[in-house]
Structure 1
Amino acid sequence: MRKIYAACLHFFACGLFLATLLMSSCKKDKSTPIPVPKPIATLGMYEVDSGIYKRIFIPITKVGTQSVTYYSVFDTGSTGMTIDATGLIPASMITNAGITVAGDSVNVNGITITSQTAVIAYGNAQSEIQEFGNLAYAPVTIGDQNGNVTTTRIPIFLYYKIVDNTTGQKQPAHSNDVFGVGPGVSFANSNIGSPLSYFKTAAEVTSGFKLAMLNNAAFSLTGTYVSGLLTIGLVPNDLAINGFVMHNLTYYSQGGYSPDIPATINYNGTSVAGTILFDTGTPAISTIANQQAASNISQLPTNTSVTITTGKGFSYSYTTASANDITQVAKPSYTGDPRTIFSINFFTDNEFLMDYADHKIGLKNN
């Protein structure tokens, strides 16, 4: 009897111990907060107004092992990072004929430069800038002392020469460094995508970025730093019903997914259906493509009302002014571009979201 009693006590004590553990475990589970998904980084950029052009620049402070201070145009209208080779590799490697690469590739200052060459063009048939260079690979630090993040080794376009194709004049080094964050791949080399698309995301975070509404009052000649403009990595709240109207992108065999969105544009009693590019890289004048226009190109009068309505129901209206929201109408046969392109002024009134994983663009009124 004594042994049975002792065994019962032992069993009872074990039961109490297990129950205590279970209760502690339950209490711990209830008190442990569920991790909240966080974006990869939130960075500021510099808003610049030359008096003619508005730009937003993102700082580039390291390429490979080279610490630098360059400012790249943040461009939703192109794909891929381009940067001048000057200051990144020895000057002896840069010639008028190209970058000296022995064999298939060469590694210098932590930058792998391949022998694959290309030309990238920006603008249209009436005004075109061309960059001549090579496919290269390097880790890149985006941002400055105000906040920064470093990529893994990513493909970039390293150019050695930049030319204004309308005049034939060579342009200064780093005068057209571009940080192209559009979807798809670069037309110059299909290995090059948006530098923001290469970040590895944690669970519950989607590859992409969110661009806050630009501060129109912050644009200045010397450049004003505005914090929190760029969020890298999209959390569930960004993609939930959060005011963004989402637009599925179309895939093409050349260039991949296109940032052009089907829409209708209304102005002066005229309605034009086509595709729209919302482009931070267009610094001054929006262009409505209309093959039926009275002339090759003409500027809309001041106080003209313009309304954009996309096929998904996003709508935005503005009124042209003498020094703001300047808009022209042009025949695609003249510009060589069938798209309607809205300039950086669109982004002073609206938010923009790019979902690389699901190939969507989100637009949001403010």
Structure 2
Amino acid sequence: MDRSQPGPPARWFSALILVILGTLLSSSLPARTAEEPPLTVPLIKLEYPGNPPNIRMLYVNILRLGNRKINQPILLDTGSSGMTIDCTAVLPVKLCSSKGIKITKNLELDGITVTIEKTVMNYGTYDEYGNVAFARVAFGSPGSPASTEASIPFLIRYKTVRRSTGEIVGGRLWPKGIFGISPIGGGGPNQMFKSPMDAVSAGNGLRKGYYLSPIGTNWRACTNEDANCPTVEALHIGIPDSVKSGFKTQKWKTADKRYNFPTIGSCILLKEKTTCRPTLYDTGNSTIVIADHPPKDLGGSTDVGTKVAVKIAMLGEWKFDTSYGSELEFSPTIGHNIVGIRYFERNSLLVDLEAKEIGVRIGN
């Protein structure tokens, strides 16, 4: 070997060392976790088959409480916080009575803790009486269930009472419970009954929260008891940034300290009269409630085909024609508008639990 020939320059060795070090470092670092898709939960579309007609609702199926198989649809409600479920869907029938759950001490049953603490949950026109209970909750599809990460408090109800008359109500078509997914507030002692969604983790790379995609305009009369209602894959848990960017969002607010649901500013336009109020977007309501007196030429009622426009401040405008006579209601004393199930037929709602934001998306 002719040692008189010059060797490679020193910088060549330095570059080689940097390449080797870079390779070693990159192989030792964990790979970036890929973004998972949101978990999609099927919802049940139910049109009440009796009178009054046109009562339309969304239900979600409760699969298990603790280790106990339940398989009970309950009402999905973006306008309330916390879960309630009928006693007979959870406990042996012999323990259930309209006078109370027949226990004298806390009961442990298949991963469910039923306490002797009684409480009342308040809804629009009725109250639910029950006992505080704790369990992990699994809901949605048996093949791909969503589940809370730990036990959460909820209400096992033993009676439902119409507040105005004190009448105990129920029966075959009455909802067997409420799945309240409002992200703020709570019910029960010290507002302990929170949204079950607070306890459901998002997938890798997703924001904690959920969104509802359009459920469609086709409805048919059916019942959960007959298991003849259609389902739609409309509830999505975990929010990709790419999905959120398609929504217009605002920080959520409460209409009043009395309420535990989120609102965003919206204006409802009806016959050249505009009512701008904090507005609740509510899957648990079949009507549009305007916090104002009706226009004088309506005479307190609306005809089928009455044109309505809902304008969401800085977010967009949604227009529709009423499909039945009592679809619009007027309540000047409540202080907030309510936009019910019709909104969700063609439009979307997003709740970002990390940023405390609500988003709307007009149209598909």
**Aligned with residue 266 of structure 1, among 260, 266, 269:** 269
CA contact 1:39–1:231 (8 Å) conserved in 2: no
Sequence identity percentage: 21
Aligned to 1:172: 171
Report the 3-state secondary structure (helix = DSSP H, G, I; strand = E; otherwise coil) of the residue aligned with 2:33: coil
Give the structure 2 partner of residue 287 of structure 1.
289
Equivalences for residues 308-323 of structure 1 within 5 A = 308-322=310-324
Q: Distance in 2 between matches of 1:351 and 1:44?
A: 15
Q: Is the 8 A contact 1:155 1:191 kept in 2?
A: yes
Q: Which stretch shows the higher mean deviation, 271-280 or 194-203?
A: 194-203
1:200 alignment counterpart: 201
1:99-248 alignment, distance < 5 Å: 99-102=101-104, 105-123=106-124, 128-151=125-148, 152-166=150-164, 168-172=167-171, 175-189=175-189, 190-201=191-202, 204-217=205-218, 219=220, 221=222, 222-226=228-232, 228-239=233-244, 241-242=245-246, 244-248=247-251
Tell me: CA distance 1:254–1:147, structure 2 relative to 1, closer, same or farther (3 Å).
same
Quote how far apart the aligned CAs of 1:295 are: 10
How far off is 1:346 after superposition?
A: 0.8
The Cα of 1:17 is off from its aligned counterpart by: 9.0
- Establish whether residue 343 from structure 1 lines up as the match of residue 349 from structure 2: no
* Aligned positions of 1:58-97 closer than 5 A: 58-97=60-99
Gaps of 5+ in 1: 1-7, 9-13
Contact 2:81 2:261 in 1 (8 A): no
Equivalent residue letter for 2:339? F
1:125-174 per-residue CA deviation (whole Å, 9 max, x = no partner) reads: xxx23211122110111123343122221121111112344561431377
TM-score norm. by structure 2 comes to 0.81
For 2:358 and 2:120, locate their aligned partners in 1 and report how far apart those are by CA, in whole Å: 27
Aligned position for 1:328: 328
Query: Using a 3 Å threshold, how does the CA distance of structure 1 residues 297 and 56 change in structure 2: closer, same or farther?
Result: farther
**Cα distance change, pair 27–252 in 1 and its aligned pair in 2 (3 A):** same
| Counterpart contact for 1:204–1:235, Cα < 8 Å | yes
Using the TM superposition, give the Cα deviation of residue 307 of structure 1 relative to its aligned residue in structure 2, in angstroms.
1.6
2:42 matches 1:44: yes
- Rounded to whole Å, the distance in 2 between the matches of 1:250 and 1:322 is 31
Task: Report if the CA contact (8 A) 1:187-1:254 is conserved.
Answer: no
* Contact 1:209 1:234 (8 Å CA) reproduced: yes
Q: 1:66 Cα deviation (Å)?
A: 1.2
The structure-2 alpha-carbon separation of the partners of 1:60 and 1:312, relative to structure 1 and needing over 3 Å to count, comes to: same
Query: Cα offset for 1:301?
Result: 2.5
Q: Distance in 1 between matches of 2:336 and 2:102?
A: 38
Please state how far the C-alpha of 1:266 moved relative to its aligned partner.
1.2
For each residue in 1:248-307, what CA deviation from the matched residue of structure 2 results, as whole angstroms up to 9, or x when unmatched?
Answer: 112589578631222221111111121211111113x22212147559983223332212
Bigger shift: residues 228-237 or 144-153: 144-153
Alpha-carbon deviation of 1:59? 0.9
Asked if structure 2 preserves the Cα contact closer than 8 Å seen for 1:299 and 1:327, the reply is no
* 8 Å contact kept, 1:162–1:172: no
1:39-66 Cα distance to aligned partner (Å, 9 max, x none): 5521212212235322221111111221
2:303 and 2:255 mapped to 1: Cα distance?
Answer: 36
Closer, same or farther: CA 207–297 of 1 in aligned 2, 3 Å:
farther
Paired residue secondary structure (2:197): helix
Check conservation: 1:39, 1:232, Cα contact below 8 A. Answer: no
Q: Sort the Cα spacing of 1:313 and 1:230 in 2 relative to 1 into closer, same or farther, 3 A.
A: closer
Q: What residue number does 1:35 align with?
A: 33
Assess, with a 3 A threshold, how the Cα gap between structure 1 residues 291 and 218 changes in structure 2: closer, same or farther. Answer: closer
The structure richer in strand per residue is: 1
3-state secondary structure, aligned to 1:217: coil
Q: Conserved in 2, the CA contact under 8 Å of 1:293 and 1:330?
A: no
CA deviations on 1:310-349 (whole Å, 9 max, x unpaired) are 23333211122347xx53242334xxx3322122111011
Change (3 A) 1:312 1:328: same
Contact 1:280 1:343 in 2 (8 A): yes
Q: How many residues align?
A: 342
When structure 1 is superposed on structure 2, of 295-304 and 312-321 the one drifting more is: 295-304
TM-score (norm 1): 0.80
Counterpart contact for 2:47–2:219, Cα < 8 Å? no
Residue aligning to 1:4: none
Question: C-alpha root-mean-square deviation of aligned residues, in Å?
Answer: 3.5
Give unpaired runs (5+ residues) of structure 2: 1-6, 8-12, 223-227
Q: Is the 8 Å Cα contact of residues 315 and 360 (structure 2) preserved in structure 1?
A: no
- Contact 2:279/2:337 (8 A) holds in 1: yes
Residues 267 and 311, structure 2, Cα contact 8 Å, conserved in 1:
yes
What is the Cα deviation at residue 246 of structure 1? 0.8
* Cα distance between partner residues in 1 of 2:175 and 2:41: 23
Further displaced range: 213-222 or 182-191: 213-222
Distance 2:132 2:279 in 1: 29
Q: Which amino acid aligns with 1:275?
A: P
Counterpart position of 1:3: none
Is the CA contact 2:76–2:181 (under 8 Å) kept in the aligned structure 1? yes
